[in-house]
Structure 1
Amino acid sequence: MKALIIVDVQNDFLPGGELAVKEGDQIIPIINQLQEKFDFIVATQDWHPADHGSFADNHKGKNIGEFIELNGVSQILWPIHCVQGSFGAEFHSDLKRDKWKAIFQKGMNPKVDSYSGFFDNNRQGDTGLGKFLKDSGVDEVFVCGLAEDYCVKFTVLDGISEGFKTHLILDATRAVNLKEGDFAKAMIEMENAGADIVHSSDIE
């Protein structure tokens, strides 16, 4: 069975948000159309405590974009975003949610970031997404959302490692692009790992 995984289409990752992805809002109509093609849909949601270790403001003298070691993992520092219960953490109001089977929250442990919808960044915390999909009979996943070069990429890579036939829906994602070319670099990395790159119009 096929499933659509919608990654982190939240206000803070959209134009005007604290960690805005350029043109991130342009994928919402595409994702809404995609949902009509799937009977099984899940979503992930960044859900950070205010004291999260990935926030630059929580490290004296450190700036956004710098790297630190956080709980044994190299961690880039971000602006404060998607804090639990905040407007920024909410899904965008235009995003349809009526067919969703479940929402998997991530990034709740202040000591480790969590890009992937499946595991945290040191792979010690499991969101339960993989088991939920397998228990539901899903063996093929289509991934879309934000951002292509971080949370989408790692969700795709973990989907492959968990044994799912995994597709990236290229026109239904956008990248942070901290460095020019990050979008293409991430796409190639996913493709080399075994992901199938598709467009929304390819999906029946």
Structure 2
Amino acid sequence: MTKLLIIVDYQNDFIDGSLGFEKATKIKDNILTLLKNHQGDVVFTFDTHDESYLKTQEGKKLPIYHCIKDTFGWQMPSDFNVYLKNAKKIFYKNAFGSLELANFLKQNHYESIEFCGLVSHICVFSNIILAQSATPNSKIILHKNATASFNESLENSAYEILQAYGVELL
């Protein structure tokens, strides 16, 4: 079985930086365990902005500088460096979802695609929906213990919608 693990935006600014929240710090070991035990390909997404972020549509609605390319907040914790070096691909995205990731999935068939990371009801959700569109016959899995949100109500709503779409929640 061809398997892919996607780590979405587990970056310092979302963990304990400008948009950090407590629950984000608590999933780190679960993500590292998934990485250590995964038998298949691994890819990462990086939320990536520049100094003009506040002029973007997202920046107008969320006017907090975050994940500015090449800053400490944009990086992942150093524990992830070994996995980043061995990643099949890294996607740098300036929106919630990555069309580049969706195109990669469309061109590279995986029987199983697993997701974890931040933020569950925003970027994780968006990329799962894109993955389902790009590869409708793949089994999609979301690791809830390795995914987090700052808003439990929105997170639970996202989980309900994903389950209705056929995503397996672990």
The equivalent position to 2:86 in structure 1, one of 71, 87, 99, is 99
- Residue type of the partner of 2:75? E
Q: Provide the secondary structure at the position in 2 that maps to 1:115.
A: coil
What is the aligned partner in structure 2 of residue 181 from structure 1?
153
What is the aligned partner in structure 1 of residue 7 from structure 2?
6
**2:52 is the alignment partner of 1:51:** yes
Q: Provide the secondary structure at the position in 2 that maps to 1:103.
A: strand
Pair member with larger Rg: 1
Maintained 8 Å contact 2:102/2:130:
no
TM-score, normalization by structure 2: 0.86
Q: Provide the secondary structure at the position in 2 that maps to 1:32.
A: helix
Deviation at 1:134, TM superposition (A): 4.2
Flag the structure with higher helix content.
2
The runs of at least 4 aligned residues of structure 1 exceeding 4 Å deviation read none
What is the aligned partner in structure 2 of residue 151 from structure 1?
123
Distance 2:103 2:154 in 1: 31
What is the aligned partner in structure 2 of residue 160 from structure 1?
132
CA RMSD of superposed structures (Å): 2.0
The equivalent position to 2:96 in structure 1, one of 90, 109, 115, is 115
Structure 2 unaligned segments of length 5 or more: list them: none
Q: Provide the secondary structure at the position in 2 that maps to 1:184.
A: helix
| Higher relative contact order (CA closer than 8 Å, sequence separation 6+) | 2
TM-score, normalization by structure 1: 0.73
Identity of aligned residues (%): 29
- Residue type of the partner of 1:14? I
Structure 1 unaligned segments of length 5 or more: list them: 60-69, 108-113, 119-125, 199-204
**2:70 is the alignment partner of 1:79:** no
Deviation at 1:92, TM superposition (A): 1.2
What is the aligned partner in structure 2 of residue 110 from structure 1?
none
Alignment coverage as a number of residue pairs: 163
Maintained 8 Å contact 1:2/1:138:
yes
Distance 2:143 2:104 in 1: 21
